Amino acid sequence: MFNLFKYSSPASFYPLAGRLAVGFGIASAILLVIGLYMSFFVAPTDYKQGEGYRIMFIHVPAAWMSMWIYVVMACFAAAGMIWNTRLSSMMASSLAPTGAMFTFIALWTGALWGKPMWGAWWVWDARLTSELILLFLYVGFMALESAIDDPRRAARASGLLALVGVINVPIIYYSVQWWNTLHQGSSIKVVDGGIESSMSEIMLWTLLVMTFACWFYAVAVSLSRVRSTILERESGTAWVKTLLKGEQA
Amino acid sequence: MLSTLRCIVMRDLTLAMRHRSDVLTTVFFFIIVVSLFPLGVGPDAALLKEMAAGVVWVAALLASMLSLTRLFADDYNDGTLEQLMLVPQPLSLIVLGKVLAHWIISGLPLVLMSPLLGLQFGLEGDELIMLMVTLLIGTPVLSLLGAIGAALTLGLRGGGVLVSLLVLPLYIPVLIFGAGAVTASAAGMGADGHLSLMGAILLLALVLAPWASAAALRISVE
């Protein structure tokens, strides 16, 4: 059987992460070029929303990634708690900045899209609000981690917070949704679902390509970030010293 | 089990009674925050009545959070917490006792004060009762969830600000259903759904939060 636990040791994961990061980085760059070309030149102009709808090609993947990365982060945090593997918590903490960045991109592009479509930069829609709360959760995770000096305690404390957060995410999401329908303040609805069903095939393909570009980017960036973390935390060990000597020579 | 719980609760209550000003600070903070809103948005009675529930609830959230840092900090500083963790009874039970005491000290006074503040905002009869009931169900949740944040930030520099960053996003569902129940009953829609959901959140928090706080304490005190 393939021994997964072999790569739970930072020393054997470090070179693998390097190779994977390069691979995913290249794949992401290629997909991004194809995706951007498709979203600007191939995908037809939307009959209702005009050219502005093209923001969707970065907005939707970013929103998906922001949620998905939180789940992956919580899974790594759980693995770190269960098996007490150092690498899992390092992975969790290197995913957080990327997740926060995608959350921010989703909010930012959403605002840019909302202004021409709805006439407002921001509406207290259920999706926007829960995305904003997700950003708070990411910020809380990173703030807790950076406030604790001892890396072991930082990893375990932030891991616990990620788990508490992931239990709360569905509760928060549904409460925000019900709050929104109860208040019914705005008559504007996010029509992503509407676009989805009526979307032409080429738009769907563009969206898919862009999603994979973002996904691979997230993998590549967090792997290269985890490599730096490994070097920093393991700087006292023999294998890092030989590695650094080899690079200097 | 129950005697341990009672022992912890009585101990924390006695300690709080020796430092009565701490308790009063929380209550006065609550009153001041609520009083700031009319000064900020103007004395328009209709507007104030509409936002009363939200204002009281947000102030309750902040007041409950303000007192969180004291939940474990004193025991941590004088070493009592370490002794408590060595006790054969489960740590989550001890945490539950401390949370219960924290609620009696900082949550219950808010519940009792809320009708008075509601009156100032022009709420009447049923709405006042509803405000009290929602706070009665909701404030224990605030203490329970807050305990996780307090345990995680134990002994950190800037722990007070950090705890707000960790805990406030988790308070959002309680805020929504709590303030929503009052608004719904004022609009004559009935608030049974809101209250049931708050009860569900309370039960969930009652089961999971002491356990998570105990885990967090073990991480913080090593």
Instruction: Give the pLDDT confidence of A94-136 residue by residue, as tens digits.
Output: 999 999 999 999 999 988 888 887 778 887 777 788 889 899 9
Q: Are B150 and B99 in contact (CB under 8 A)?
A: no
Torsion of CA B151, B155, B159, B165, to 10 degrees: -30
Interface test with A, best of B141, B154, B171, B176 (most A CBs within 10 A): B176
Q: Nearest CB to B180: which of A148, A163, A179?
A: A179
Give which of B200, B73, B197 is closest to B147, Cα–Cα: B73
Size of interface A-B (CB pairs under 8 A): 72
Give residue A185's pLDDT: 45
Interface test with A, best of B170, B217, B220 (most A CBs within 10 A): B170
Chain A, nearest residue to B209 by Cα: A164
By residue count, chain B amounts to 222
Question: How many of the other CB atoms lie within 10 Å of CB of B37?
Answer: 18
Interface check for B148 against chain A (CB to CB < 8 A): the answer is yes
CA–CA dist B142, A76 (Å, integer): 28
Residue ranges per structural domain of chain A: 17-248
Q: Which residue's entry shows tokens 């989805």? A: A196
Q: Nearest CB to B173: which of A147, A163, A171?
A: A171
Along chain A (249 residues), what's the average pLDDT of each consecutive run of 10 residues? 69 86 93 90 74 84 91 91 86 93 92 81 80 92 89 88 88 78 49 53 86 93 91 83 76
Question: How many of the other CB atoms lie within 10 Å of CB of B7?
Answer: 13
Interface check for B166 against chain A (CB to CB < 8 A): the answer is yes
Residue-wise pLDDT for B187-207, tens only, equals: 777 778 889 999 999 999 999
CA–CA dist B173, B198 (Å, integer): 9
Q: Name the DSSP class of A5.
A: G
Give residue A102's pLDDT: 95
What is the ipTM, given to two decimal places? 0.85
Chain A CB contacts of B158 below 8 Å: 147
Residue-wise pLDDT for A55-71, tens only, equals: 888 988 998 899 999 99
Chain A CB contacts of B176 below 8 Å: 175-176, 178-179
Residue-wise pLDDT for B39-83, tens only, equals: 998 888 888 888 888 999 999 999 988 888 888 888 888 888 888
Q: Phi and psi dihedrals of A135, rounded to 5?
A: -60, -40
CA distance A31 to chain B (A): 35
Give which of B193, B197, B178, B198 is closest to B127, Cα–Cα: B178
Q: Name the DSSP class of A95.
A: H
Interface check for B216 against chain A (CB to CB < 8 A): the answer is yes
Interface check for B165 against chain A (CB to CB < 8 A): the answer is yes
Chain A CB contacts of B166 below 8 Å: 140, 143-144, 161
CA–CA dist B212, A163 (Å, integer): 9
Interface check for B18 against chain A (CB to CB < 8 A): the answer is no
Interface test with B, best of A166, A172, A182, A184 (most B CBs within 10 A): A182
Give residue B104's pLDDT: 93
Chain B, nearest residue to A136 by Cα: B169
Q: Nearest CB to B220: which of A157, A165, A171?
A: A157
What percentage of chain B exceeds 90 in pLDDT?
A: 45
Q: Nearest CB to A164: which of B153, B180, B212?
A: B212
Give residue A246's pLDDT: 78
CA distance A24 to chain B (A): 33
Interface test with B, best of A124, A144, A167 (most B CBs within 10 A): A144
Q: Nearest CB to B166: which of A140, A163, A179?
A: A140
Interface test with A, best of B69, B165, B171, B218 (most A CBs within 10 A): B165
CB contact under 8 A, B152 and A136: no
Contact residues, chain A to chain B, C-beta under 8 Å: 133, 136-137, 139-140, 143-144, 147-148, 153, 156-157, 160-161, 163-165, 167-168, 171-172, 175-176, 178-179, 182
Give which of B41, B188, B192, B25 is closest to B121, Cα–Cα: B41
Chain A CB contacts of B153 below 8 Å: 144, 147
CB contact under 8 A, A176 and B184: no
Question: Residue B184 pLDDT more than 90?
Answer: no
CB contact under 8 A, B176 and A157: no
Give residue B49's pLDDT: 86
